[in-house]
Amino acid sequence: MPNHRVAVLSNPASTRNLKNIGRMRRTVAAGSNILHLELDGIESMAEALRQIARYDPVVLIISGGDGTVQATLTSLHHKSPFNEVPPIAVLPSGKTNLIAADLGMRGRPEILFGDIVALARSGKFRKTFVKRPLMRLDLGDGSPQHYGLFFGGAGLVNAIKFCRRWLFPLHLPNFLTHILAVLLVTYSAIVGGRRKGSPTYSRKVSINALGGGKLEGHFLVYIATSLDQLFLGIRPADWAGKGGIGLIAIEHNPRAVMRALKAIIMGRIGTTTINGVPVRRINEIRITGRDPVLLDGEILEVPDGHSLSLKAVEPMTFVSLRGYK
C-alpha cells in the first residue's frame, strides 16, 4: 500500500502559532495517518525529528517561522535520523515567513496544511517538488555550523532589532509591518543612518565573493540567499552569474539607497547595473566585520577576530504550491 503518512512539526512559540495553534490542532485531529509534534523549545528539535523519522512520513510539514525552519535544517545536517529526508513543506506560521512565501505558501496555515495533505495523497505530489541549495554558515570560531536559506548583515540587523522593539509589539498585519519597516530603513538611511544610535547604523565590512570580486565599505544592507524570490518582487533566481547564492549589497549613502529603491519599484534589481548596488550569483562568500548577522530570522553575534564563511551546499527538496494556489 502507498505511504500516506504525514508528519507535522509545530513551534507553538512562532508568531502566528501563538494565536492560531488551536486551529492547527483541530485540523490535524480531524485527519488520519498524521503525526503532530509540538516543540518544547528549540532544544527539543533533535528528539522530535527522531520520532518523526521512526514514523517514516511521505512529507515533513513545518509550522513555524523562518527561525524554526533554520533550526530544523541545521539539526538535520548535524545528525539526521532519516535514511532519506522527506520533502519539506513550510507553513507561514512566523512573522516574516520569507521561506514559506518563496514556496508559494500564502494564506491560513491550517488551510494550506489541508492542501498539502491532499496533494501528498494524490498522484500529483511530485509535481510540487522543488530544489533549493542550502547555505552553510561557519562563524569561524569552532562553534557548530548553521544551515539556512536567507542571510543578511550591516544596517539590516540593527533595523530588525529596532522593528522587534518598536513595530512588532503594535501587532499590525504582517504586510503593513513590512511596509513600515521598509519606509523606516529608507528614511533612516537618507537622513543620517551612518551615525551611531541610528536604526540602520553599521560598521565597515569586507565581503569577498569568491569568483565574483571583493566589496568593502559601509553598507545599508547586504543579503545572500538561495531562495528564488524575496519581498517586494526581488528575484535572486534571475540575477546574472553562476552559483547557488544570490548576493546583493546596498552602499550606505543616500544616492545608492534611492537608486536601489527606484530599481525595486520598477522591478529592475538584478537586471541592470546600478552604481552602489552590486548584484551577483556565487557559491561562496567570506565576510570580515564586527556587526551581528542574520540567518533565517536568528541574529548571531560575530566573534571578534574571526571571518565568516557562507557556502552553497547540496540542495534539499521542498514542497512548493506556487502555481497550485
| Domains in the chain, CATH or no CATH each | 6-133 (3.40.50.10330), 150-295 (2.60.200)
| pLDDT digit string, tens, across residues 62-79 | 999 999 999 999 999 998
Evaluate if residue 195 carries a pLDDT over 70: no
Structure confidence at residue 170 (pLDDT) = 74
- If you average pLDDT over every residue of the chain, what do you get? 88
Structure confidence at residue 324 (pLDDT) = 67
Q: What would the grid cell of residue 297 be?
A: 530570522
Is residue 177 packed enough to be buried (19+ CB in 10 Å), middle (13-18) or exposed (0-12)?
Answer: middle
| pLDDT digit string, tens, across residues 268-306 | 888 888 899 999 999 999 999 888 999 998 999 887 777
Instruction: From 73, 7, 25, 6, select the one nearest 46 (Cα to Cα).
Output: 73
Integer Cα distance of 7 and 13 in angstroms: 19
What is the Cα gyration radius of the chain?
A: 20
Integer Cα distance of 205 and 84 in angstroms: 39
Evaluate if residue 309 carries a pLDDT over 90: yes
Evaluate if residue 260 carries a pLDDT over 60: yes
| pLDDT digit string, tens, across residues 112-167 | 999 999 999 888 899 999 999 999 999 988 899 999 999 999 888 877 777 777 77
Structure confidence at residue 178 (pLDDT) = 65
| pLDDT digit string, tens, across residues 46-62 | 999 999 999 999 999 99
Structure confidence at residue 116 (pLDDT) = 95
Is residue 288 packed enough to be buried (19+ CB in 10 Å), middle (13-18) or exposed (0-12)?
Answer: middle
